[in-house]
Amino acid sequence: MSSIAALDSKSTIDLFNDYVIPNYTRYPVSLVKGEGSRVWDAEGREYLDLFPGWGCNILGYSPPAVVEAIQQQAARLIHVPNTWHMEQQGRFAEFLCSRSFGKAFFCNSGAEANEAAIKLARLHGSAEGRFRLITFERGFHGRTMGALAATAQPKYHEGLGPLVAGFRYAAMNDLEGVASLVDDETCGIMIEPVQGEGGVRIPDPEFLQGLRNLCDEHGLLLMFDEVQTGMGRTGEWFAYQHTGVEPDVITMAKGIAGGVACGAMITKDQYAGDLRPGMHASTFGGNSLAMAAGLATGETIEREGLLQSVKENANYIRERLEVARTSIPIIRELRICGMMIGIDLTVPSTPAVGKAMERGVLLNATQDTVVRLLPAMNISREELDQGLDVLISVLHEMAEAE
């Protein structure tokens, strides 16, 4: 009795201090409720979130169509193992592949989707003794050991060696550099069509075309990590569709199920058989709740014409920030691809996060100097204006302090 009463009186933050491994830097705020691009904390404070769910809440918090789909599916059938067929998995696979290509494998996260891609590339190359992958500096592919080795950022490797062997790192937009790393043990190239965590860096389309040619020449798989760019965020279903270059593999996660854990790897029909039975699996991959949520997310994007709104809002954001920039000398560069917005500063970007939060707007800082926004695809123009007003005034303030 007494111990239960004692537990009840503990605040959420106390519980974290006592029982949750401190591997994240958390704000001293507990979020309790969300709706669209708005979210509320335990004290009843309202925030406008320009980075909802770290990119997972592609339709904002608790989108009604997704909530309803999960409720209905939960009442009918929560989990079916992958030894059976299940309607929702088939339908979500059809949804994704008919907007890209090939066939899908489902898992639960971005790192897992990339592990599947790494295995596919190795299995495909194994008959010829090919196993090496080329990935890119400032890339981010996840935290599991394979995805970590693919992530060419030394700060994430510290203390974790030896890393999984067989990865070589190249500089983005340096095609000759990449070509010099290809040998007869190389099986593939993995790149983000827009680097997210890396600071919203957009590779040159000619560079991606060059990678395509290199892969065709040497029989390598070209794999695009669309974990952050995938399923509409950039204004196309997949970011490769802006580039004129079709990869052999795309991986996705984050927003694809509207905030429910879900990942997928899609590959062309001719490579799908390389991931043969017994070689790869995920117990919860493609589970019925995630599939129902994913379908509802995709159908909402389609029904509400959100690919188009993303394009219009991206132009609007660019216009407003270009104007603001003329009087904010600390803005070094603007990098925008749909609802992926990177504002590269000449000064550290972290203070912008705290200053905006004080004014009720949530955003992200990455790569030391970049302010990153990943607004929900369905954010309203009014909310966007409110968020940009705060962001711009924060940047003015930071510029004046220089």
**Contacts to ligand PLP by CB under 6 A:** 109-111, 114, 140-142, 192, 196-197, 225, 227-228, 253-254
Edge to edge, what strands does the sheet with 249-252 contain? Answer: 103-107, 263-267, 249-252, 221-225, 186-191, 132-136, 167-170
- Residue 200 vs 214, nearer CB to ligand PLP: 200
β-strands 361-362, 46-49 pairing: parallel
Q: Closest distance between ligand PLP and the C-beta of residue 251, in Å?
A: 7
- Residue 92 vs 140, nearer CB to ligand PLP: 140
- Residue 130 vs 375, nearer CB to ligand PLP: 375
- Output the six-digit token pair for 183: 């040998």
- Residue 152 vs 388, nearer CB to ligand PLP: 152
Element (H, E) at 238: none
Q: Closest distance between ligand PLP and the C-beta of residue 364, in Å?
A: 12
Q: Closest distance between ligand PLP and the C-beta of residue 143, in Å?
A: 6
Edge to edge, what strands does the sheet with 364-366 contain? Answer: 331-337, 340-345, 370-373, 364-366
- Residue 63 vs 230, nearer CB to ligand PLP: 230
Q: Closest distance between ligand PLP and the C-beta of residue 22, in Å?
A: 18
Residue 166 Ramachandran class (φ > 0 left, ψ -120 to 50 alpha, else beta): left
Spatial separation of the C-alpha atoms in residues 130 and 295, rounded to whole Å? 36
- Residue 229 vs 386, nearer CB to ligand PLP: 229
Q: Closest distance between ligand PLP and the C-beta of residue 59, in Å?
A: 17
Q: Closest distance between ligand PLP and the C-beta of residue 114, in Å?
A: 6
β-strands 186-191, 38-41 pairing: unpaired
Residue nearest to ligand PLP (CB): 110
Spatial separation of the C-alpha atoms in residues 140 and 197, rounded to whole Å? 6
